[in-house]
Amino acid sequence: MEKEKVLLVIVDYKKKDSWAAEDVGEELAELVQGCRGEVEEKVFCKIDKPTAACLIGSGKVEEIAQMCAEASIDTVVFSEDLKGSQQRNLENIIKVKTIDRTQLILDIFARHATSQEGKMQVELAQLQYLLPRLVGKGIALSRLGGGIGTLGPGETKLEVDRRRIAQRISKLKKELQNVGENRALKRRKRKEKGVPMISLVGYTNAGKSTLLNILTEAGQETRDGLFTTLDPLSRKLVLPNNIKVVLSDTVGFMHKLPLHLIEAFKATLEEVVEADLLLHVLDVSHPRYRNLYDSVLEVLKELGADQKPVITVLNKIDKMEDASWLKELSRTFELPVEVSAKTGENLENCLEMIGRKLSALIVNVDMFIPINRMNLINEAHNEGQVFFVKYYNDLIHIRAALPKKLAGLLRKARVSQKRPKSKD
């Protein structure tokens, strides 16, 4: 299939954004590539205030219309959200399909959703984006003939009226709540036993899934592109100091991540909110690493997870020609550790840091428990690290590193008896 030719309109509200307009443009171009489009032109528009009709001034719109005609552009993408009326007005003048950044991101999510839950979350975000834009007539999205920004939950659904969309939204919310409750139940069980939970967070494409794979052989898909992972995946991992933890990968963050998406992915992102420790994976080889870092902090704040203990994993150091400035740089991050998830460089150090950070949640036990409490030994194998078990007539001797809560249960069951005499 031939790539769609795209013209980007980068709207630059003077001083409103911490990102430079060029950087916004560059990331927008990456998003377009993620939708298999080709950026042909970039137009920068510095404005003070948005206009009601077209967001940008009418002179600029005419200019864009002309450029589109000359370069046979298929799609215009705005860096800022457009209202339904603005989108219609722009299309009337430019005569080319015009979408905004949020639609582009939703499109990539729609392309990458594979699980039932992922698909429902994306559909919910799409419909919530669509609903306020349907005011009045009810827009026929099929008019645009498909392609970037129109990849939706299916034409039949998109052609229904506002009321039916609202019904679909509440049905999706209910279904997602059910899935979310299931996940919450599993999480609660793990929590009850006190197994430490670690969440990988970070900008999209930072290397979170690559790190999960190298540490746990999870086999998670990794790719050079945006929003590869949409579904959370958890794996057990034993740290060098014998602490058993659960490590979870999840959806990547982005600068100004649309609120619809954060809301729709709430159940998925609960993993982050409930984690004992966050591993903030940052691609330090990226020219705008500091912006990426700050954007992730903003999303964490949005989620109410900005006060959690965190280790900053400065990733992709193998890509850096001169790593000497890294030492200097790393001081500016919370608990930094430099690694390469690709080559495995310095991962032991990273694991040790995690172990130290979590050691308060784990205790070592060396005790005897009655033989009828064998269930505790099973739990110890599942949730902790067992170094030694020996069975006697009516007692079991166990030495292990266990989550605090489980250790507490063992302590309650323990017998103060001295080690029974054995023949060996």
Residues of this chain that interact with ligand GTP (CB under 6 A) are 202, 204-210, 222-224, 226-229, 252, 315-316, 318-319, 340-342
Residue with tokens 């001083």: 15
Q: Is 208 helix (H, G, I), strand (E, B) or coil?
A: helix
Least gap, CB of 128 to Mg ion (angstroms): 24
Structure token pair of residue 143: 């008019």
Nearer CB in complex with ligand GTP: 14/319: 319
Strands 362-370 and 244-249: unpaired
Contacting range for Mg ion; rule: CB under 5 A; set: 202-210, 305-313, 351-359, 399-407: 202-210
Closest contact distance (angstroms) between CB of 342 and Mg ion is: 14
Cβ burial 366-375 (10 Å sphere, 16+ → b, else e): ebbbeeebee
Least separation in angstroms between CB 349 and ligand GTP = 14
User: Which of 201/376 has CB closer to Mg ion?
Assistant: 201
Our finding on whether 86 is near Mg ion (CB under 5 A) is: no
Residues forming a β-bridge with 264: none
Based on CB atoms, which residue is closest to ligand GTP, 79 or 204? 204
The DSSP line for 60-74 is HHHHHHHHHHHTT--
Q: How far is the CB of 200 from Mg ion (least distance, A)?
A: 8
Within 10 A of 125 (CB to CB), how many other CB atoms are there?
24
Site string for Mg ion, 111-150 (x = CB under 5 A): ----------------------------------------
Q: Tell me whether residue 209 or residue 385 sits nearer to Mg ion (CB atom).
A: 209
The residue (of 98 and 222) whose beta carbon lies closer to ligand GTP is 222
Residues that bind Mg ion (rule: CB under 5 A) add up to a total of 3
What is the secondary structure of 39-60 as a DSSP string?
EEEEEEEEESS-BTTTBS-HHH
Residue 268 engages Mg ion in binding (rule: CB under 5 A) = no
Which range in 106-114, 203-211, 303-311, 358-366 contacts Mg ion by CB under 5 A?
203-211
DSSP 302-346: HHT-TTS-EEEEEE-GGG-S--HHHHHHHTTSSSEEE--TTT-TT
Residue 424, class by beta-carbon neighbours within 10 Å (0-12 exposed, 13-18 middle, 19+ buried)?
A: exposed
**Contact letters for Mg ion, residues 217-256 (x by CB under 5 A):** -----------xx---------------------------
Eight-state DSSP code of residue 265: T
